[in-house]
A and B are shown apart, each in its own frame.
Chain A
Amino acid sequence: MRTMVGDILQQAGFEVIGEAETGSQAVEKYKQLRPDLVTMDIVMPDMGGIDAVREITKFDPKAKVLMCSAMGQQALVVEAIQAGAKDFVVKPFQPSRVLEAVQRVLG
């Protein structure tokens, strides 16, 4: 899952500077690396994706977080956006859609 989004982004010329397996790791990594963009799964072990977004936005209100969601998670995605996520992509991932969303967020 992570590798898939990573692959799509790398092929498009982005550099993946860090990966996290849990929500709390993601928050730590963010503080450490200050990336231009974060892609975040909604469901993650430990601290969930939505809480992680909240933490990250608290730390950096300008943080750009792109949610990765599955079908049927409408309510969760809305919650993530309320928590500060900027956009979302839906699985199964289509590279063009992922890149479109990334451009919008970075735009």
Chain B
Amino acid sequence: MRLCSACSAEHQADALSRGVDSQRYAELFRSESREQLSAINRALLELEAAPEGREPVHVLFRAVHSLKGMSATMGYAAVAAFAHELETLLERLRTGDQVISAELMDALFAAADVLEGGIDRAVDGAGDPPRLTEVLEQLRHVAGGRSTPEFRAKTDEFSNAAGGFPGESAGTPAAAPNLDEGPGVLVRVRQRPDTMLPGVRAFLVIQKARGLGDVVAVSPQLSELQAAEVPQAFAFRLVTAMSVSDIESAIIATGDVEHVEVSAGRGRQRSAVQMSTGEEAAPVSKGARHVRIELARLDTLMNLIGELVINRGRLMQLTAGNGDPALDEVMTQTARLVGSLQSEIMASRMVPVWQVFDRFPRLVRDAARQLHKEIEFQVEGKEIELDRSLLDEIGEPVVHLLRNAVDHGIEAPEVREAHGKPRTGHLTLTASRERSAVLVRVRDDGRGIDRSRVLSRAQELGMVGGDVTQLDDEMLFRVIASAGFSTAVVVSDLSGRGVGIDAVQARVRQLGGVVELESVPGEGTTITLRLPQTLAIVRAVLAQVGGERYALPLTHVRETLAWSDGAVQHVQGREVLVLRDEVLPLMHLRQVLRAPGEDDPETADIIVLERGNRRAGLVVDELTGQQDIVVKQFDAVRDGLALFSGATILADGRPALIVDVGSLL
């Protein structure tokens, strides 16, 4: 180990400012350091939960050390010096010279905050953060030790931290089994973006592979894969004597395969083929290198591809009846290329939710401490992916829901005990996929919403008739989510939630999602945000009513069926749909829209809509197909348009309105 006593922050900064335009790297530095800060916060939470753990200390040490190196490289001397002090203290923790106390934990949390603030200010060129010295003193005081004024960075690690910095971010946490090593060959498959019943198609691929040899591992797991509602990329290991090209053609023959790649894993014996389009094969491997791209650039790409998708549709219609085989061939290839381009661009925008969720444990901890609550917070489904812009948008509503749960949902420890509940409340944030929707759910085991108080308040405000004696979940939600109600009630006066739900609801609806609420008195409250996976392009069923076409996003469509007299029955004078052993209410889109004409049972189709556990049948004149539609939001939702969430342009260039299914159910 060589000590580099010359590596003072100033020295480094001098060295760098001569050769490198540091402003160019400032944003890069900011995002890199976010990752380190988030690792620090995670490790601190772990350490607080289990003070005897060694691993969090190592993680902390490494992250702080990297931050020190990065800041020094950028010439942010104050931040680097602070990180250095922190590192010195952590070193003492690591060697066991320092014991962890509650006081020390608080000081460490404060230090993490100061570090974050310091980095932001340094990048913005705003100077040193005000509390730097104060927190430093506190740290020194708590640690009871003296700090060393010079940097004792190890040369090798130091240069590593600096050298690796414009580069590769770590991959997402592995949720699936590691297929990189093992017997046989690694087969990676990507499905076409327009794959129907993709889960079943994937299952067919695995079935086929089993006919070729032994399938020893599948990622994601078969059960998960088989239930997939959106086209996927998946991989498995296959032990077989067959040649690479035979395996590839067999897999392609199962249909809807956009790309298949057979390799030994870890980059040996690579081979890739692309389906019949002559595209350059671009295998995406797990250990791929990463490049950072400005979000605005991705947005532009997204807009462009949206327009291109519309044009593809138009072009296909225009060339359809042409009868020129050469033109048809070029058209088919172009259409497929546009499809691949679209799925690649969409994929490049998808990020795992942990990128935003990772800061929540800290937030919940702080809120709980402030309010003297004891709360165990869990985050599930961190690896679920969402469009970047959507993820950014839901951060704030989720923070709101979490704060509400800590503040008004979960009771104080004494109150919980008095009610025979465990002192520690449970708060869970879950992300999961359901069909093409992503669900974000905040669940607490607190007191639930006091329905009678909400009811009487709602009656006072004239929102609910005086004859109503009980509010079900849906009415309850409608009441507390209305703007008038929220602002009219002092939150702390209401045992339950209230404030801001209207804002959450407005934001989520704007994103094309819906909010659902369940609350059981004494047992807790669950709020679910049901979101589309991406904002701009969604898959939709197209239906025709009264000569006009409407698009219904697949997010809410469970299945479709033709009208039959057996399925449509009358129960107590009401028309219902009997589907297997379920009885569902039936609506006519024509009546909902007050469109002219009459439904013709001979040709009508029924779309089964689903939102949470509410289902209903929707009668339309005709189903005209499924299509990716490019959502164009209205500038503002006007009263008459409450039924629609936006509009789109169909393949023939005509517009269609997008039905807001959430408002129908």
Contacts and interface: CB of A to CB of B under 8 A. Distances in A.
Interface stretch (A20-28, A50-58, A74-82): A74-82
A74 B199 contact: yes
A73 interface: yes
B200 A78 contact: yes
A39 interface: no
A82 to B, nearest CB: 8
A71 B207 contact: no
Contacts of A72: 557-559, 608
B475 interface: no
B559 A94 contact: no
Contact of A70 (B203, B226, B253, B559): B559
A92 B541 CA distance: 9
A8 to B, nearest CB: 14
A89 B226 CA distance: 16
A100 interface: yes
A87 interface: yes
B26 interface: no
Contacts of A1: 562
Nearest to A80: B200
Contacts of A91: 560-561
Interface string B298-324: 000000000000000000000000000
A107 B250 CA distance: 11
A31 interface: no
A72 B580 CA distance: 13
B626 interface: yes
Contacts of A88: 197, 200
Contacts, number: 58
Interface in B165-207: 196-197, 199-200, 203-204, 207
Contacts of B560: 70-71, 91-92
B144 interface: no
Given A90-B196, A90-B197, A107 B253 contact: yes
B574 to A, nearest CB: 24
A97 interface: yes
Contact of B200 (A81, A94, A100): A81
A40 B562 CA distance: 16
Given A87-B255, A104-B253, A71 B558 contact: yes
B439 to A, nearest CB: 17
A77 B200 contact: yes
Interface string A9-51: 0000000000000000000000000000000000000000000
Contacts of B229: 74
Contacts of A70: 559-561
Given A78-B200, A78-B203, A81-B207, A71 B562 contact: no
B15 to A, nearest CB: 60
A72 B197 CA distance: 8
Query: Which secondary structure dominates chain A's binding surface?
Result: mixed
Contacts of B197: 69, 71, 73-74, 77, 88, 90
Interface centre among B204, B253, B624 (most CB of A within 10 A): B204
Contacts of B626: 92
Nearest to B624: A92
Nearest to A72: B559
A101 interface: yes
A87 B208 CA distance: 11
Given A87-B204, A101-B255, A73 B559 contact: yes
B204 A71 contact: no
A84 to B, nearest CB: 11
B437 interface: no
A78 to B, nearest CB: 5
A104 B203 contact: no
B462 interface: no
Nearest to B226: A78
B313 to A, nearest CB: 14
A89 B624 CA distance: 16
Nearest to A77: B200
B649 interface: no
A42 to B, nearest CB: 11
Contacts of A69: 197
A94 B605 CA distance: 16
Interface centre among A69, A72, A101 (most CB of B within 10 A): A72
B623 A71 contact: no
Nearest to A93: B625
A73 B204 CA distance: 15
Interface in B620-665: 623-626
24 contacts: A69-B197, A71-B559, A72-B557, A72-B559, A72-B608, A74-B197, A74-B199, A74-B226, A74-B229, A75-B227, A77-B197, A78-B199, A78-B203, A78-B226, A81-B200, A81-B203, A81-B207, A89-B196, A91-B561, A92-B623, A97-B196, A101-B255, A104-B253, A107-B253
Given A78-B203, A88-B200, 13 more contacts: A1-B562, A70-B559, A71-B554, A72-B608, A73-B559, A75-B227, A77-B200, A81-B207, A89-B196, A92-B624, A94-B625, A97-B196, A101-B255
Q: Which 8 A-B pairs have the closest CB atoms?
A: A72-B559, A90-B196, A77-B200, A72-B558, A71-B559, A70-B559, A92-B623, A74-B199
Interface of B: 196-197, 199-200, 203-204, 207, 226-227, 229, 253-255, 554, 557-562, 605, 608, 623-626
Interface of A: 1, 69-75, 77-78, 81, 87-92, 94, 97, 100-101, 104, 107
